[in-house]
């Protein structure tokens, strides 16, 4: 089967965070025998090594002049993930036009069998126009910011509805995203499935190599208990809730007698974004100790960070509705327990009491209490981490998710997909 993957995020160079899960999906499709064409906007940061790969093969379209004027996609379209930047409105008409033209050309030249658009805008809309004109099946997946973008104005809302109406299958990686798409954007609930973006179980594994040296470099004692938070510093990640929970955790720890029996607690904060300085100021105001702001870390250097930690915390809030963070799955693959909020797809992969805990979003004290339970019971944290790895190997790795998608692709190509009839 020849599959067209439509996206505005894709790793442009080794270590790039942008769209790593799209690349992993494409590579697993190839490993299972499919031919993949990735169609995406041009960006002058693309490394020639990436551009010259053959399967998956990239088709980039220019929509501005000069090359340095290409500023859309690749995690730059939104400001703090709650509003679009001004240049989005200026450049998007050209991006939509050139996107449609390129999708149609590549579909014809490569005789694609199906299109799979990631994000309802821009790829869902551009894919829908091409799908309708060329009579080719379309899948639309909504990873996160789609619902917010669609609600910015009536035009974008109508464009998303075009995408949903044309799609034969719509997937989301959280119930909150599905509910917004159905309840506010008019998507057909009979077209929906909850399908996560997975993780390569061979790329991230439990491995202590380099963890002792990393802790030493950061000044973290080897017997300390380490929490990890990974993601862009934007509202929906809920990192302000985490910082407030750490303040509560310090108060809980201070009341313990004797304190000497409680491990020292450290927290690694990985990522940057529009709220980077604001969050650091909040941490200062809360008088937090033992917090390490590491900034952006290349993907190929993340494994040692996951493995150096004991627990990943993902305290998402519905600001706006968002999907499951791939960092949750990366940490699970490294054998880590997860403490997540009850939104953003976390409940799809975190089984309370098995591989972690789910706490109400926006509740720092309840988050702190869950964190404290694992600080004082590291054996439980280790057991939960082992269960996380087992879930990746049996349910949430890319081989399982891609086999699911390939089944759906074939049914759509055959014109026989009825979700109520398939498992």
Task: Concatenate the DSSP letters of all residues of 79-117 into one string.
Answer: ETTTEE-HHHHHHHHHHHHHHHHHHHHHHHHHT-SEEEE
* Contact indicator for 295, 232 with CB cutoff of 8 Å: no
Measured between alpha carbons, how far is 249 from 42 in angstroms, rounded to an integer?
46
Answer yes or no: do 228 and 110 share one domain.
Answer: no
CATH number of the domain encompassing residue 244:
3.40.50.2000
Same domain, residue pair 372 and 284: yes
Residues 353 and 254 in one domain: yes
**Cα distance between residue 190 and residue 216, in whole Å:** 53
Whether the CB-CB separation of 52 and 15 falls below 8 Å is answered with no
Question: What does the alpha-carbon distance between residue 123 and residue 10 come to, in Å, rounded to a whole number?
Answer: 13
Tell me the helices (H) and strands (E) count for the chain, helix number first. 16, 15
Structural domain including 51 reads 2-198+397-421
Based on the fold, state whether residues 53 and 185 are members of the same structural domain. Answer: yes
What 3-state class would DSSP assign to 192? strand
Same domain flag for 247 and 314: yes
Whole-model pTM: value is: 0.89
pLDDT at 146 (0 to 100):
67
- Report the distance separating Cα 332 and Cα 321, nearest Å: 23
Q: What is the DSSP secondary structure assignment for residue 397, as one 8-state letter?
A: B
Looking at residue 73, its pLDDT comes to: 86
Q: pLDDT at position 257, please? A: 65
Contacts of 48 (CB under 8 A, 6+ apart): none
CB burial class (10 A; 0-12, 13-18, 19+) of residue 143? buried
In this predicted structure, what is the pLDDT of residue 365? Answer: 98
Round to whole Å and give the CA distance between 38 and 192: 23
Angle in degrees, CA 10, 58, 88, rounded to 5: 50
41 and 21 inside one domain: yes
Q: Is residue 139 part of a domain?
A: yes
E strands within 196-336?
Answer: 225-230, 265-270, 291-295, 311-314
> Is residue 139 a contact partner of residue 171, using CB atoms and an 8 Å limit?
yes
Question: Are residues 277 and 151 part of one domain?
Answer: no
What is the number of domains present in the chain? Answer: 2
Residue 84 belongs to a domain: yes
Distance CA 350, CA 354 (A): 8
166 with 315, same domain: the answer is: no
Q: How many CB atoms lie within 10 A of CB 281?
A: 11
What does the block give as tokens for 204?
């991230």
33 and 138 fall within a common domain: yes
Residue segments in the chain with a per-residue pLDDT below the cut of 50: 80, 82, 423
Let me know whether 105 and 229 are in one domain: no
Q: What is the pLDDT of residue 423?
A: 46
DSSP 263: P
CB 8 within 8 A of CB 40: yes
Answer yes or no: do 374 and 414 share one domain.
no
Q: Do 114 and 255 share a structural domain?
A: no
> Among 6, 107, 35, which Cα is nearest to 406's?
35
Tokens of 371: 């964190």
| Residue in 367, 347, 351 with CA at minimum distance from that of residue 359 | 367
* Residue 68 resides in a domain: yes
pLDDT per residue as tens digits for the range 263-286: 999 999 999 998 999 999 999 999
In our burial notation (b when 16+ CB lie closer than 10 A, e otherwise), range 145-183 reads bbbbbbeeeeebbebbbebbebbbbbbbbbbbbbebbbe
Return all residues near 54 (Cβ < 8 A) that are at least 6 apart. Answer: none
């Amino acid at each position: 089967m020849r599959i067209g993957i439509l996206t505005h995020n894709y790793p442009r160079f080794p270590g790039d965070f942008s769209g790593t899960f799209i690349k992993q999906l494409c590579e697993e499709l190839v490993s299972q025998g499919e031919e993949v064409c990735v169609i995406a906007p041009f960006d002058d940061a693309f490394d020639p090594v990436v551009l010259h790969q053959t399967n998956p093969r990239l088709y980039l379209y220019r929509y501005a002049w000069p090359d340095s004027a290409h500023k859309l996609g690749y995690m730059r379209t939104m400001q703090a993930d709650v509003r679009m930047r001004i240049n989005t409105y200026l450049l998007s008409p050209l991006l939509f036009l050139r996107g449609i033209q390129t999708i149609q050309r590549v579909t014809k030249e490569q005789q694609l069998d199906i299109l799979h658009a990631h994000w309802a805008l821009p790829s869902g809309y551009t894919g829908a126009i091409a799908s309708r004109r060329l009579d080719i099946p379309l899948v639309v997946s909504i990873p996160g910011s789609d619902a917010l973008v669609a609600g910015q104005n009536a035009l974008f809302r109508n464009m998303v509805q075009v995408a949903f109406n044309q799609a034969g299958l719509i997937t989301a990686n959280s119930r909150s995203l599905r509910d917004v798409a159905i309840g506010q954007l008019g998507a057909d609930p009979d077209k929906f499935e909850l399908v996560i973006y997975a993780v390569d179980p061979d790329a991230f594994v439990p491995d202590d190599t380099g963890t002792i040296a990393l802790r030493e470099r950061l000044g973290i004692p080897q017997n300390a208990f380490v929490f990890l938070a990974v993601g862009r510093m934007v509202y929906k990640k809920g990192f302000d809730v985490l910082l407030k929970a750490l303040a509560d955790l310090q108060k809980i720890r201070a009341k313990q007698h004797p304190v000497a029996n409680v491990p020292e607690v450290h927290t690694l904060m990985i990522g940057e974004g529009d709220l980077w300085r604001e969050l650091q100021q909040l941490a200062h105001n809360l008088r937090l100790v033992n917090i390490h702001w590491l900034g952006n870390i290349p993907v190929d250097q993340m494994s040692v960070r996951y493995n150096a930690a004991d627990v990943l915390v993902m305290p998402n809030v519905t600001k706006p509705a968002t999907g499951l963070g791939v960092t949750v799955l990366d940490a699970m693959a490294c054998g880590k327990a997860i403490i997540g909020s009850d939104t953003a797809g976390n409940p799809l992969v975190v089984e309370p009491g098995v591989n972690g805990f789910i706490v109400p979003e926006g509740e720092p004290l309840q988050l702190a209490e869950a964190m404290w339970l694992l600080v004082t019971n590291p054996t439980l944290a280790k057991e939960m981490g082992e269960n996380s790895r087992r879930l990746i190997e049996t349910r949430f790795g890319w081989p399982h998710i891609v086999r699911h998608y390939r089944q759906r692709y074939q049914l759509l190509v055959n014109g026989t997909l009825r979700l109520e009839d398939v498992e």
